[in-house]
Copies of this chain bind each other. A is one copy, B any other.
Amino acid sequence: MKCRKCAQRAIAHMPEHKLALCRQCYPAWFLEHTERAIHKFKMFTRDDRILVAVSGGKDSLALWHALRELGYEADGFYIDLGIVGADGYSDKSKEACIALSHQLDRPLKIESVREVVGAPIPQIKELTARSSCSACGLIKRYFMNRTSLEMGYHAVATGHNLDDEVAVLFSNTLRWDTEYMSRQFPVLEDREGLKRKVKPFIYFSEKQTTLYTLVKGLPYVRDECPYAAGATTLAFKDIINRLEHESPGTKRRFLDGFLKSRHLFASSNNPHLTPCHICSQPTVGEVCAYCRLVNQVQNRLVRLA
Contact = CB atoms under 8 A, between A and B. Distances in A.
Interface of A: 173-178, 235, 239, 242-243, 246, 250, 253-254, 257-258, 260-261, 264-265
Contacts of A235: 242-243, 246
Contacts of A264: 178, 264-265
Nearest to A177: B257
A235 B243 CA distance: 9
Considering residues A173, A175, A253, A254, which has the most beta carbons from chain B within 10 angstroms of its beta carbon?
Answer: A173
Interface of A is mostly: helix
A253 B264 CA distance: 20
A256 to B, nearest CB: 8
A16 to B, nearest CB: 14
A173 B257 CA distance: 9
A238 to B, nearest CB: 9
A176 B246 contact: no
Given A174-B254, A176-B254, 18 more contacts: A173-B173, A174-B250, A175-B253, A175-B257, A176-B257, A176-B258, A176-B261, A177-B257, A178-B261, A178-B264, A235-B242, A235-B243, A235-B246, A239-B239, A239-B243, A261-B265, A264-B264, A264-B265
A173 B239 CA distance: 15
Contact of A260 (B176, B243, B254, B258): B176
